[in-house]
Structure formats: structure tokens, C-alpha cells
A and B are shown apart, each in its own frame.
Chain A
Amino acid sequence: MVFQLLNENGLCNYYTMESNPGISKKNSPEAKKFDFLDDESVTTRLLTFNSPEFAKTLLFIPSIHCSSCIWLLENLHRLNPGVIQSSVNFPERKVSVTFSPSRTSLKEIAVLLTAIGYEPKLSFEDLESTRENSFQKSLYYKVGIAGFAFGNIMLLSFPEYLAIDASSQALKTIFGWLIILLSLPVFFYCSSGYFTSAYKSLRSKAINIDLPLALGILAFYSRSLFEILSRTGPGYMDSFAGLIFFLLIGKIFQNKTFDLLNFERNYRSYFPIAVTVKKEGIESSVPLSKVSIGDRLIIRNNELIPVDSVLVSGAAHIDYSFITGESELIQKQIGDLIYAGGRQAGNSIEVVTSKNVSQSYLTQLWNDSALNKKLKGQMATFSGKVSKYFTMVLLAIAFGALVFWSFTSLSEGLRAFSAVLIIACPCALALSTPFALGNTLRILSRNNLYLKNTTVVESLTKITHIIFDKTGTITRHKQGIITFEGATLSQTEMSLIKSLTYNSTHPLSKQIYHSFSGSAALPATLFTETEGAGIEGFIDNRYIKCGSMKFIQATLNESTFIEAPENSDISSVYVSIDNIYRGRFLIHNLYREGTDSLFAKLRATYTLSILSGDSPREAARLQELTGNEVDMRFNQSPYDKLSRVQDLQKVNQKVLMIGDGLNDSGALLQSNVGISVSEDILNFTPASDGIMEASALASLPAILQFAADSVLAIKISFAVSALYNIFGLYYAVTGLITPLFAAVLMPISSVTVIGLTVSLTTFFARRRGLRL
């Protein structure tokens, strides 16, 4: 299908581009799916620009994954002549499509994209808001300007340092004015962020690192300005511009964002944009926001029920794993209430809505007043704590110097005062945190843990209690994957095995039983189950055995033998019929590999607990895997999970919640650090502080240790920069500081701190065995 489409349009190069391009599309294209794009009110909100001849839209396509994708998607205009241009933003997995509405429509484009395997993901949320990235842009502007000013001011200051041609007073004046001119934008534009932040911290009476920084900047600038204007000296403008430049670079480093991920998702991202509404026998697609109470909705296989509603026709088998974590299907009778968030499995059903979207059970989790408050108890960061004392000591010394020198002369006192503020300007302090934590963030992302921002790293070090969700977090989402190895089984043989396993309650038997569809169970006679070995019995006068290799081999005819190697991650169940070996079932473990060692490692330092929405049927197996100290609670509703976290926080526990589904979302928000686990990070994940790829779960102990290490790295670099400050302060207090001295000391201390923090964090990561 894809090939045909491409071939017709002479895009055959696609398959020669890379040896293995393309994930083949998983779902067959359903044009119906995009029916809602016919609705004008939906499309106008999806279009960033709209005119009769010309329209532009930005589509999120998670399946973009290689350079061939870029090529194919940028050649859309050859697949659909109505498309004028399309351009891909690979890091964000977005395609910007420009098309002419008179020749094609948004729906046609969406269907075409789906047909070639790039289904655009359109969610309710997209209609509500767009993300801003102007902050990042203004940071680039600031760095550019500060760097420009830094270089040029330094150039203009050289003659002064080297005392070249000191006689030419006129030249000195010109240089002085040029320097002032260059420094204006640095002071008024580039450093403005520090002043606003310092002002805010003063108003909220919580001193942060920006306050001493702003003081230093102010002292730097006013003293330099005074010196240049009064012709008493050359000022420190180069050090000043350099300081701002380094600080801003630190900010960029710290703000490395993962464009791809969205940490702020709420229920809106889970819901479809539109639903099928049946009115007077006519089906039509209606945007979700327009659905009102009493509407008759048609929910097809695998569609999400967006609103609490009542079943009116069809056989409803609802998968609530999204909400409760319980993966077993729940059957509903006509007239039953179905909560929003359930997913229909099977044929289409019809429901009548009983509530508005925003009043459904599920959505109320978010509208819960407890969650609307700014809940994260702001944990004091290390640099925040230090800067409080730092500011006080700094001010004490500065005023001390002022008073002391004022006995000699007031101007001398002011000079010493400003010199203290300049030299002690905590630039090294302010640099160490962003660089250390920025680097930590980068290293963690290499290990498939993506944190929202750098403060999460510090919060991770204070954790005392870790809560795991069960389904989807320590177990895989799907039931264990079952494959059969051996000669293909006939229909009767399958029904024999199914019938035998029906009699056993062993988890492996249950899984094999569920893996066969159809064929009803036949009665088994002489059924026996041997603990730890297997099951046997006669069905239809045939003798069937399922179990371990030894169990089967004991009665096997000599002509057949088993030559299958064992694998510890996969459980194998061997099958023989009438004493002839038929093959074996390979059942991949339901629990993620390394779960036992994960718990064993974490047990030493943290209190652990498991909150599961599931029934306690696997409690024993879980206990065996995780150890006895783990507190396990089953049948937990989303609210139970949330209140459990609150209870723990009341007794001063710092909680790390690790969960996956919507059912954990409340707990993820409430916890001190909430990390959502996902098999595929591009999938929907609830709002959280971090997103972790499931494969990284095993390295959680190392990650937690590494977080503590990075804070240690900050402390070490704080100590080093404090040494610089004491050294510089000595000169400042005694009034010996010169511009050249400042110009040399400032960059040296900054560069040492940057180098030290980055190399320390990298070193620690290597020691913890993390990928770099």
C-alpha cells in the first residue's frame, strides 16, 4: 500500500534511502477517524494560518523516527498536489504543512499521512493551547548581545591594561564612551532577568541566589560608570559583561529542554478531539467540547469513552486499565453507568452521556481543589539555602569595610564597599548549580530518564519513601507474551491444551488458557496437578501433560526428545500429548527483568511500598519478588493513591511516586517527585516531574545515587569558589583591587567552577555505571 502510493508518484528512492526505513503502520487507515476534521470549528483551531487560497497547520506525528521520514514528509506535495510545502521539525516530531484549501483539505492530508504510516496525533488539548518557546529565544538574544559586548569591551580595555599610550587622553575618552555605550544593553536588557528575580525574592522574603548576584551586578555597573565618567579609572565593564555572558550561558545549559516531551499533560491529552454522535439515525462527528448531556455517542472498538455515560445498546467490555490499572475487561449491562476513561474492546456500543466532559469522574481528579493548589511543597534548594547566609555575610563585610574606611575618607569607604560587592559577586556560586545539574540532566537523559527541570534532581536526593504502581510499572502492560515453539498445533490439539489448563489456577496455566481464543473447554478426567512440576489429565481419551522439562521427560516415548535450551527470563511450559513431545510455550515474564534486584538494592536506603489498582491475586508472587518489608496495598482507587501520598507526607516522608497510567496522575502530582514510566516515551504520559523509559527502571538505584552525587559536586565547587572569594575579598577589603586584577580573577574562577562541576558530574556518572 505504501509502496504503491510512493511508486505512483516516483518516490521510489524512499526505499533506497536507508536500509530499513519505516515502521509499518499498525492500524489500517480509517478515514472515518478524521471525520471531525470536516467540522469548521475544529479545523480553524488547528490551522495556524487560514485563507481561501492558503492555509498552514502544525501536526504532531510521533512515528517520525529517521531521516527517510523527513524526506518522505517533505515530499508530501508530490503525493497530494494540494499541498504546497511541508517541513519537518525532527526534534519535536512535528510537520508544518502549507496547503491550498481550495484543492485539498486538512482531512485529506490527515488521511494521506495515516495511509503512508504517519498518523498525526490530534488531541483535545491541541485545541486549547499552544506551547511557548519565546523564553528560549530571548535567552539566545541576550547571550548574543552579552557576548558581543564582552568581546568588544575587552578589546577597548586592552590599551588601559597594557598602559599603551597613556598620554593620549582624547583616545581614552572615546574608548570610555564606547565602553559605556556597549555596556548599556548588557545592563538594561541582558541582566534584567536577575533584577526581576531578585526583586521577587525580596518581596516573597525568600532570598535566592539572584539577590547577591543582582547586588554584585549593580555594584559592578555603577562603580564602573562612575570611574569612567569621573575619569578616575577605567572601570570593570569587561568583567561585568563577561560575568553576564557566562551566567547566561549557564542558563541556557540549565534550560536544556526536551522539546519532544510534554510534562504538563492532563486529561485533555488523553481524550479524542471529536466523537461520533448519532442524532435521528444520522452519525456525525462532533468536537468533544460540544458534546452535551443526553447525546447518543457511538464508541467503536478501542475507542475511549470520553464522558460518564449510560450504556444503551451493544455488548460493552470495558478496559479500565487507564484508570484503575486493572487490566481485566469488565462487562457492562444495558443501563449501566460507564465512567469516562474506559476503553471499549469489541464491537461498537452506543451510550448516552450523563454528565459534561468537565464533570466526569475522571476529569474531576484534576479539578479536585487539593490539586489545583500549587502543591509541590517547594523544597529548599542547596544554593537557595547557601545564598541566604552568603548574602548576610556579604552585606556584613561590605558595610564593615565601608564603615572602617570611612574613618579615613568617605570616597575610600565607598570604593572598598563596591569592591567587596564586585569581588564577592557569587558568579561562581551561580554558575556551579546550572552547570552541574544541567550536565546531570543530560546524563540522565542518555539513560532514558527525562526530568522536567534541574530542581527535580535536587528533590530526588531528599526522597525517603518510594511508591511503585504495579500494572505497567513493575509489570509489563500486556499480559506475558506467549509464543509456541515446535510443530504447529492442530485445532483439536489446541482445544485439548486449553481444556487441560482450564482446570489449573497456576498463573502460567491461566495465561496459556487465555492465549487460545474460541474453542470451549472439554471436561478433563483424572486431572492431577503436581506442585512445582506440572499438570496432567485425560481429555477425549488422550493423555496430555503440561509442565517443566523434567515432568514431561519422565513419561516421554524414547523416540521423542527435547533439545530446547532454558532461559531464565522466559518461563517455558512443555507439552506432550500421548507421551509424544509437541513443543513448548514460551511465556515472557510479566514482571520486568531485574525487579527483584531493584527492590533488593532500594530496600537498604528507602521505605518502599506498592500501590496497585489490581486485585491482590498476585500478592504472594509479588512479595516473593520484592521482599517482606514492602508495604503492599491492592484495590486502590486513584483517590486512595493520592490520599496515601498525602498521609505519608504528613508524617514528613518525602515521596517519590513511580507510576504510569491516569490512575496514578493524582499521586504523581501530589508526590514530591513523580516519575511516569512508559514503554514508549512518545506515548501519553500523565503530568509528572519526569518521564522514564521502562527499560531504565532497573537503573533507578544508580540514578538516585547519582542525583546525590551531583549535589555533592555542587558542594565541592561551592567550596572552591568560596576560596576564590576569600582570596579576592582580602584584596577588596584592603582596597588593593585593580580592574586588571578583577578582569583576570573573574573569568578564571568562573571557568574553574564550570570545568570542575561538569567533570565531577561526568566522573560520578561513570562511577555509578551510567551511560554517558
Chain B
Amino acid sequence: MSVVAVLIGFSLIVAGGFLGAFLWAVKSGQYDDKYTPSVRILFEDKTTTVNNKNEIRQNNSKTKESS
């Protein structure tokens, strides 16, 4: 029956992972605005070039580092 202890351990790790994901989501501000992203996902961005996107991403990481 001691295998149960191992299984419980695993289940806690998995559940803890989800808890961590939730806490991270709250921390990164995903619960601040619960409406806009639902609209944003429907927009097409044909004209946005790859360069542009990369630039955005780079700058994003810049803010995070500096703030």
C-alpha cells in the first residue's frame, strides 16, 4: 500500500504546479482585465510584419527587466 504515498506525492506536485500557474497568472496581471483579451484575440493582424512583432517582444522583455 505504500505506493499510495508515492502517488499522493505525485498528485500534490501536479496540483501544486497548477496552483503555481494560477498564482503566476494573477501576478502577471491576467486577472486585471477580464474583458479586453477576449476581443483582442479576434483581431486579424495581417499587416503586422514579423520585424514589428519581434521589436515588440524585445521591448516587452526590456520593460520587465527594468521595472
A residues within 8 Å of B by Cβ? 10, 49, 51, 54, 56, 67, 70-71, 74, 77-78, 84-85, 87-92, 98, 133, 136-137, 140-141, 144-145, 148, 151-152, 155-156, 165, 168, 170-171, 174-175, 178
Contact = CB atoms under 8 A, between A and B. Distances in A.
B66 interface: yes
Contacts of B12: 152, 178
A45 B44 CA distance: 35
A171 B4 contact: yes
Interface string B37-63: 001101100010000100110011011
A71 B36 contact: no
A84 B66 contact: no
Given A92-B33, A141-B23, A144-B22, A156 B8 contact: yes
A388 to B, nearest CB: 36
B15 A148 contact: yes
B4 A85 contact: no
Interface residues on B, range: 35 or more
A137 B31 contact: yes
Nearest to A144: B22
Interface string B6-30: 0010011001101100110011000
Contacts of A85: 56, 59-60
A71 B44 CA distance: 10
A176 to B, nearest CB: 12
B66 A145 contact: no
A31 to B, nearest CB: 28
A156 B5 CA distance: 10
B33 A91 contact: yes
A49 B18 CA distance: 32
B5 A171 contact: yes
Nearest to A148: B19
A90 B39 contact: yes
Contacts of B35: 90-91
A87 B59 CA distance: 14
Contact of B5 (A70, A133, A174): A174
Given A54-B59, A56-B63, A67-B39, A90 B31 contact: no
Nearest to A159: B4
**What is the predominant secondary structure among interface residues of chain B facing chain A?**
helix
A222 B40 CA distance: 49
Contact of B19 (A67, A144, A156): A144
A54 B26 contact: no
B10 to A, nearest CB: 13
Interface of B: 1-2, 4-5, 8, 11-12, 15-16, 18-19, 22-23, 26-27, 31-36, 39-40, 42-43, 47, 52, 55-56, 59-60, 62-63, 66-67
B36 A89 contact: yes
B8 A145 contact: no
B16 to A, nearest CB: 8
A764 to B, nearest CB: 28
A78 B47 CA distance: 10
Contacts of B27: 137
A49 B36 contact: no
Nearest to A48: B67
Contacts of A133: 32
A309 to B, nearest CB: 41
Contacts of B19: 144-145, 148
A148 B63 CA distance: 32
B3 to A, nearest CB: 11
Nearest to A100: B59
A433 B59 CA distance: 47
Given A137-B31, A168-B1, A49 B66 contact: yes
A140 B66 contact: no
Contacts of A156: 8
A165 B67 contact: no
Given A91-B33, A174-B5, A178-B8, A151 B15 contact: yes
Contacts of B2: 170-171
Given A89-B32, A137-B31, A51 B43 contact: no
Q: What are the 7 tightest A-B residue pairs by CB atom distance, in nearest-first order?
A: A90-B36, A148-B19, A89-B33, A140-B26, A67-B39, A144-B22, A90-B35
A136 B26 CA distance: 10
A133 B39 CA distance: 23
Most-contacted residue by chain B among A87, A90, A98, A168 (CB, 10 A):
A90
B29 to A, nearest CB: 9
Nearest to B42: A67
B33 A90 contact: yes
A290 to B, nearest CB: 29
B35 to A, nearest CB: 5
A54 B62 contact: yes
A66 to B, nearest CB: 9
B8 A49 contact: no
B66 A141 contact: no
Contacts of B11: 155
24 contacts: A54-B62, A54-B63, A67-B42, A70-B36, A74-B40, A84-B56, A84-B59, A85-B59, A88-B40, A90-B39, A91-B34, A98-B63, A133-B32, A136-B31, A137-B27, A140-B26, A144-B19, A145-B23, A148-B18, A148-B19, A152-B15, A165-B1, A171-B2, A171-B4
A90 B12 CA distance: 37
Contacts of B42: 67
A98 B61 CA distance: 13
A49 B1 contact: no
A91 B38 CA distance: 12
A84 B55 contact: yes
Contacts of A51: 66
Given A90-B36, A91-B35, 4 more contacts: A90-B35, A140-B31, A152-B12, A175-B8
Contact of A137 (B26, B33, B59, B63): B26
A27 to B, nearest CB: 27
Contacts of B66: 49, 51
A165 B4 CA distance: 12
A628 to B, nearest CB: 49
A88 B1 CA distance: 55
Nearest to A149: B19
Contacts of A67: 39, 42
Contacts of B47: 10, 78
A81 to B, nearest CB: 10
A156 B12 CA distance: 10
Contacts of B40: 70, 74, 88
A617 to B, nearest CB: 47
A10 B39 CA distance: 21
A108 B8 CA distance: 59
Contacts of A136: 31
Most-contacted residue by chain B among A70, A87, A168, A175 (CB, 10 A):
A70
Contacts of B34: 91
A144 B23 contact: yes
A74 B67 contact: no
Contacts of A89: 32-33, 36
Contacts of B15: 148, 151-152
B44 to A, nearest CB: 8
